[in-house]
Amino acid sequence: MGLADSDGIAWVNGQLLPAGEATLPLLDHGITVGDGVFESMKVVAGRPFALTRHLRRMARSAAGLRLNFPGEAMLRLVVGEVLAANAAALKDTTAVLRVTLTGGRGAIGSPRLPGAEPSLFALVTWHDLEPPETSVITVPFSRNQHGGLAGLKTTSYAENVLAVEMARAKGASEALFPNTDGRLTEGTGSNVFLVLGGELVTPPLSDGALGGVTRDLLLEWTEAVERSVPMSALWEADEVFITSSFRNVQAVVAADGHPVGGGRLGPVTQGACEAFAAGEARSFDP
C-alpha cells in the first residue's frame, strides 16, 4: 500500500526512498484498525518547530495506546534523516513533517500479533499556512472525555474526517465538538479559545481536548486560563479563535453560519497572534 503521492523522500522502517514508492503491508494494524499514533509539525526552511514538544507528546500517546515507543533519540535521528533527504525542496518553503508509529503487521481484527514489530515512518508534504480568519460548524456528536483515547493523538481519525466533510459542505474549514456533558472541547485538529468577560479562556484537557502544542505555548505566552464552558459560549464570546500547528492563531468569525466575536479578528486574538509570533522568533524549539 502506497504511503504518499509525493515527490519527496520518506523514511520507512529504516529506509529512505521516494515517498511515491514507499509501502506498508496491507495487514499493518495502523491500516486495518487505526492502531497507531502520530505527530505532524510545521517545518520552515527545513527547521521543525517545537520538535521536542511534539516528540514528547508522541511518547505519551504511544504509552496511552500501549505501543512500544522507539525513544526520543531514535525519533530525532529519523527526523534529521528525512529533513536532510528533502533539504533542497525545503529550503525556501513551509512544509509538514509527519511521523507515524503503528502496531505493525497484525490481523484483520483488533488483537495485535504477539511479537510484531511496530511500523515507523516519516514523510514531508507541502502545506501553506491558513488565512487569518475562518468559519466553523458544530457537530451533533460528542467527544468522549472518558474514552480510552481521550488526550491521545492516534491515527483513529474517521470521526474527524466525517466532521470536516460536514464543515466543508457548509463552507467552513473546521468543526467543533461538545463533550458528553455538552461542554465545548476542541476541533478536529485544533484547540479553541474564547474571550469571555475580558478573560481569555480555553477548555481544560479534562473536558476531552487533546493538548495541542500551539495551545500549550499560548497558555505560557499569554494570560489565557483553562475553564469549562458550554457550547453556547461560542455565540456569547467577544472573540473566538482556534489554534494548531498550521493555523497558528486563527480568528473564528462565524459558527454554524452565524457571526461570532463581532464577525472579525478582534484585539485579543491579534494580541495572541503577536505573542505567538514573538515566541516563535525567540526559539524554534520552545
* 16 within 8 A of 82, measured Cβ to Cβ: yes
Least confident residue range of 33-37, 71-75, 115-119, 247-251 = 115-119
Strands 225-226 and 199-202: parallel
CATH of 133-282, one of 2.60.40.10, 3.20.10.10, 3.65.10.10, 3.60.15.10: 3.20.10.10
Question: Where, residue-wise, is CATH 3.30.470.10 in the chain?
Answer: 9-126
What is the rounded average pLDDT of the residues 155-178? 97
Confidence tier at 7 by pLDDT (50, 70, 90)? low
What is the rounded average pLDDT of the residues 2-12? 69
Residue-level pLDDT at 6? 54
Residue-level pLDDT at 3? 40
What lies within 8 Å, CB to CB, of 208 at 6+ separation is 143, 144, 145, 150, 151, 177, 179, 180, 185, 186
CATH of 9-126, one of 3.30.70.20, 3.40.1210.10, 3.30.470.10, 3.40.50.11540: 3.30.470.10
What is the rounded average pLDDT of the residues 142-163? 96
Nearest residue to 240 via CA among 265, 210, 207: 265
Residue-level pLDDT at 4? 43
pLDDT(268) > 60:
yes
> Cα–Cα distance between 202 and 193 in angstroms, integer?
5
What is the rounded average pLDDT of the residues 11-21? 94
DSSP state letter for 220: H
